[in-house]
Structure 1
Amino acid sequence: MPELPEVETTRRGIAPHCEGQTITRVTVRNPSLRWPVPDDLAQRLEGQIIRTVDRRAKYLFLNLDGGTVIVHLGMSGSLRVITEDTPPLAHDHVELGLASGVTLRFNDPRRFGCWLWADAAEHHPLIASLGPEPLSPEFNGPLLYRLSRGKQTPVKAFIMDSHVVVGVGNIYANEALYKAGIHPKRKAGRISLDRYHRLADAIRETLSAAILMGGTTLRDFVNSDGKPGYFAQSLLVYGRPDEPCRECLRPLKEIRMNNRSTVYCPRCQR
């Protein structure tokens, strides 16, 4: 599933081609995504100018004068900038033709993504209750410490809660906890302020590095030009069970938490 770094990579890839461009055509080949594509999407968008392309959590915003298109890539979706004469593939469901002659095309084999319209995106029910962005000044150790008090939840689940902080998916939670030296099953409410400072720094460092490398390609993700992300080559623990820890050389262990793979070092993470 594309996580925050992959979505941010997509945003950076499509923004230069979309911002300031007039939408000349909207084609919906299959409206049956996670939520149905609005019947009047073409009516709302054609003739409108895409002012900015922004991101909030794992949602992309195509901001127009009259509102915002909210796009989510789901588990297998991708947005690509192509020439308008490129033949559609089997799972190309939505596309926008732009005045420049290029097309923004949405491909989603599993159809768990979405294209929704919002008059005010930040007040949309999908967005309104989200926590802070992990790369923003609002996210820090004291925030994690305050929100965690009294929590019996394992810290890995705590930092993956989008009401606490957005965009820390399974891969990046594994990596950040390893860098911070925190056991993924430790109760969130029993972690000190000092350790939360380290964890917030590790989350920022991990996500920033992944963005610079174009995200992590494990199964389906490709960025806006069809190329994979390369952060997978830098993973310290995720996908490396039984391999040696890069610090102590002891074998890494794998457990299941909420049906997700969790890999950690039993010596370095406490």
Structure 2
Amino acid sequence: MPELPEVETTRRGIAPFLEGRRLRGIEVRQPRLRWPVPVEVLARILPGGTVRTVERRAKYLLLRLDAGTLILHLGMSGSLRCLHEPTTPGVHDHLDLVLEDGDRLRLTDPRRFGALLWTEGDPAAHPLLAALGPEPLGEAFDGDYLYSRARGRRQAIKTLIMDSHVVVGVGNIYANEALFRAGIHPARPAGRISAARCERLVAAIRGVLAEAIELGGTTLRDFHASDGRPGYFRLQLAVYDRGAEPCRTCASPIRVTRLGQRSTFYCPRCQR
């Protein structure tokens, strides 16, 4: 599933292709995605509109036009491609945003868990975005904030930092990696983590996500960037998907358990 670094990588790939360009319209071949694509509304509103900016909120891409905002989610296995030449769509190529000169932004989504929605209001107030926590790379997410959200909680710290109401975009891969860097056991109760260790964990989350973005995300099964290339952060993984392999720091075997129904990888010696 594309996580925050993969979505940010996609945003950086499509922004130069879209920003400042006028739309001819939209071609929808399969409107039944996670939620129905508002085909009639988009067919009426999009022609002649200009894409002003391409932004990201959590794992949602926001294509801002003067009349409103397209809210796009890649779902479990979606991807976007920038096309300069006519290409016959495949069975999973569900829609194209068509630019004035014929260039296209194509959404491919084999599992159809993605979404393309429209809002004329502030997208931050949209029901899908309104209750989201702060961005992990933004100023609002710091050690004091995480400590305040963790105090008194018995839930595992890993499930806390994966809660999008607490902080967005810390998916399973990056939660495992950040906790390893911070030296914190993923099952440790959140309320038993000191303010200093929360500060260390915030720094680890920021570092892991920033590095993953620079390396193009983490390809494990489905994700490719908008230019078709895979992400390469997988080459840097310290614990995720390395069960029974030696820890890169102390050589102890990496252990695997399940927390919140998600595979959890950790070093029993380095993480406490």
TM-score per shorter chain, which class? over 0.9
- Partner residue of 1:43? 44
Partner SS, residue 16 of structure 2: helix
DSSP 3-state at the match of 1:189: helix
> TM-score, normalised to structure 2's length?
0.98
Give the letter aligned to residue 108 of structure 1.
Answer: D
Question: What is the rounded CA distance, in whole Å, between the counterparts of 2:216 and 2:182 in structure 1?
Answer: 23
Matched, 1:261 2:263: yes
Given that residues 84 and 97 in structure 1 are in contact (C-alpha distance below 8 angstroms), is that contact kept between their aligned partners in structure 2? no
Identity %: 61
Paired position in structure 2 for 1:102: 103
Q: Summarize deviations over 1:17-63 as a string: whole Å, max 9, x none.
A: 10001111210100000000013222121111000000000000000
Task: Provide the secondary structure at the position in 2 that maps to 1:93.
Answer: strand
Runs of 5+ in structure 2 lacking a partner? none
Query: What are the equivalent positions in structure 2 for 1:37-186 lying under 5 Å apart?
Result: 37-39=37-39, 40-119=41-120, 120-186=122-188
Cα displacement (A) at 1:185: 0.3
Distance of 1:132 and 1:94 partners within structure 2: 31
**SS of the residue aligned with 2:110?**
coil
Deviation string, structure 1 residues 166-211 (Cα, Å, up to 9, x no partner): 0000000000000000000000111000000000000000000000
Misfit runs of 4+, over 4 Å: none
Shift of 1:99: 2.1
Structure 1 unaligned regions, length at least 5: none
Read off the aligned partner of 2:230 and give its amino acid letter.
P
Counterpart residue type for residue 21 of structure 2: Q
2:10 maps to a residue whose letter is T
d(CA) in 1 for partners of 2:169, 2:111: 21
Matched residue of 2:61: which SS?
A: strand
Residue 23 of structure 2 aligns with an amino acid whose one-letter code is I
CA RMSD of aligned residues (A): 0.8
Corresponding position of 2:13: 13
Q: In structure 2, what residue type is equivalent to 1:53?
A: V
**Matches of 2:44 and 2:56, distance apart in 1:** 24
Aligned to 2:226: 224
Q: Give the whole-Å Cα distance in 1 for the aligned partners of 2:81 and 2:262.
A: 29
